[in-house]
Structure 1
């Protein structure tokens, strides 16, 4: 068995992504492998803001999934965004977990999720993965 591996899933609105990212980066410095899952929209924003300086450890990996909204749709409409996430995110998270666990010696042992992203906690419970909610 390799390093402990945590999947981190923030709620996809301003003020939720960066705090979990900072916590995740600190966990990576402690030797914990992190897969930080963002929506594709936020993923682009994070890459633009941090560039290549996101990971100093080799243990912090950014991954992304679609949010279900079309290009140009207003992601500031929280109700619409949340509804879309509830429709697409459970399947996408399951697929991501299966993909990582099938191709990586460091299996996902825990899901660290924003409490506002309860659907991620439901997916982890369904898959038998321990969770931590912030």
Structure 2
């Protein structure tokens, strides 16, 4: 019987990669094959960190990098909107091609996609390709509650669509 093969995709922001690497290690311990996708920018930083530690810590996890849609020298810390637009322009096509390549290789087919809650496009791609998917929320529960409350706060006129206050609450 083939091993389950998960593709894991963190949001390319600080605080998202390490929790999903930890999840990946747990899945490897339970017999999963893992393909871990990072942006090229973050991939280089992770690989450099691993080489400083003698390369330990990534057994059973294949690291893959995708472009993030930004120019090589472009600052990744100034505009979240620009980063999101770049990711949306480039990464969905890269993921689709990677899944097709893995599934055509004769090895363990991709059985699920696990992604950060902020990377909904990956869940949509998995669904389009008939692959099970799950979202992981590596941030605090308070931030999740706030994020899930945003549509209601906009609807109630507390904030506008840009997140700016519309009225003062007592």
For Structure 1 versus Structure 2, the TM-score category normalised by the shorter chain is: over 0.9
Deviations for 1:26-69, whole angstroms, at most 9, x for unmatched residues? 2112211000011111111111112211323xx21101111111
Q: Distance in 2 between matches of 1:26 and 1:68?
A: 31
Aligned mates of 2:87, 2:61 — CA distance in 1: 24
Matches within 5 A, 1:93-132: 93-132=95-134
Give the length in aligned residue pairs: 132
Cα separation, 2, equivalents of 1:78 and 1:94: 24
| Off by >3 Å, runs of 4+ in structure 1 | none
Q: Which residue is 2:56 aligned to?
A: 53
For the pair 1:92 / 2:57, whether they are aligned, the reply is no
Runs (5+) with no aligned partner, structure 1: none
Structure 1 position 104, deviation (Å): 4.1
After TM superposition, the score normalised by the length of structure 2 is 0.74
- Secondary structure of 2:81's aligned partner: helix
Q: Hey, what does 1:73 align to over in structure 2?
A: 74
Distance 1:37 1:104, change over 3 A: farther
- Larger RCO (CA within 8 A; separation ≥ 6): 1
- Structure 1 or 2, whichever has the larger Rg, is 2
Instruction: Tell me how large the CA RMSD over aligned residues is.
Output: 1.1
Q: TM-score, normalised by structure 1?
A: 0.93
Counterpart for residue 40 of structure 1? 40
CA distance in 2, matches of 1:92, 1:126: 14
